Structure 1
Amino acid sequence: MKLKNKVAVVTGGGRGIGRGISEKLLESGAQVLIAQRQPLDDELGSHAQVAWFAVDLADREAPYAIAHAVEERFGGADILVNNAGFMFEQSLDEMNEDDWERMMAVNMRAPVFLAKALLAQMRQRGGGSIVNIGSIEGIGANPWHAAYCGSKAGVHGFTRAMAVDLGRDGIRCNAIAPGWINSDLSDAYIDVQADPAQARRDLLRLHPVGRTGEPQDIGNAVAFLASEDAAFITGQVIVIDGGRTAKLPLPF
């Protein structure tokens, strides 16, 4: 088990992509502190290697509270997965400063300052791995996603900057840019389309691999980047999208 005796912090690790990440880290032997507002379900919450810390990442003090919690529970962190984030669809006409600032607080400020809050622990433990969950929308854009795209492009940017600054401490920093990943939220988005069956067929045609992604697809990559198998990988943004962004669009 490649992550045996390692401790991971995963924000938003109880559902969706975060759940897939937590499960793969646990399978690899890690202990996992999941930081999120919602309680864990019985299966994850009863796992001997899991701790839950209730926190709102929009709170400026949240990163330091998480760092204290993981030190108290597991003795410190070796791995940080900044997974939690949210998205809204608004035109520039509709969006206001409060909307923008909450997006940036959760999607950008919290990951940066959680990394800062855990630095002392990672240095004391001989190094670590930070994996930030960005998005293909940090590379391209969907309509009405100015704030979300801006936040995810920022995630990709500060990933590279932290890799440069923290390499001397043995701390690697990479990002994953997921494409369409199946979840309750993505299923609900399809279901409200005028013709959900046709929407699903059209969505599949965007993916050369012939399917959309699963949370475990992202979890597999996170577990790899967190391990010593990825010891020479840092400062990278790894796109995991079934080939969607590689495929040029055609009008037929």
Structure 2
Amino acid sequence: MYKYSKDGVSVLTVLDKRKQKMNGLFPVKVQVIHNRKQKYYSTGQEVSIRDWEVLPYTKSRHLSEIRRNIENSFSLIRQQVEFLSFQGEFHFDILNARLGRYSDFSVNALFHKKLEELKENGQANTYLSYKGSLNKIEQFAGKHISFHEITINWLNRFEHHLSASGISYSSMGFYFRNLKCILNIARKDGIIKESQYPFGKGKYEVPTGCGRKLALNLKEIKKIITYNDGTPKTEVYRDLWFFSYLCNGINFRDLLYPQIRN
């Protein structure tokens, strides 16, 4: 009766004839199809086969009310499908979460969805980074972590757990930034509310490592610029380093590809 299709996702209303009710009626459902997979969502309405056939144009008060209810259910699901398709992130789990049907949609599940995307895009290094983060998170909190669990207090406890395990704050930063990215996706997709988001100023801030200061003294610099092992290649590398030093640490790409400006 109602149909919508875009970007490989179809939404339509159907009469589910697989299960007839005790009263002889059949449930009306909204069917969503994506990548040959289909899911059915209840509208809460039931009609006979005959009423289903006349439903689009009937003037019956009772059937008109049923039609309006079906249209409302269809419109709600269509809006969510349109949003996810526009974002290029359609996934049945996220659709269910946005519709409030998966109240226990897990952090782990969204991590795995992200890993699938990274794998498909050939982003090996980022994939390994997210995989490592997920492993550390699951070691701390298990294989099914609800988004409602991720609070400021939870993040602080996770930080203490990592610190007690000997993890440096630089490494922690990778884990927390990846987790923050997952929660950003959840916030954007409506899985969590803004008030549930635990990161940011006045909330939990991602830890940063303290870099080591490796400044050379003048005596050490003199050793470098006077070093000579008798090979022309070493002299070139030495001179490039010294030129970079004199230019206050110029980027080596700029050093190799200088641009003359008028």
Is TM > 0.5 for Structure 1 vs Structure 2? no
* Shorter-chain TM-score tier: under 0.3
Structure number having the greater helix percentage: 2
- TM-score, normalised relative to structure 1: 0.25
* Larger Cα-atom Rg: 2
- TM-score, normalised relative to structure 2: 0.24
Higher RCO (C-alpha under 8 Å, 6+ residues apart): 1
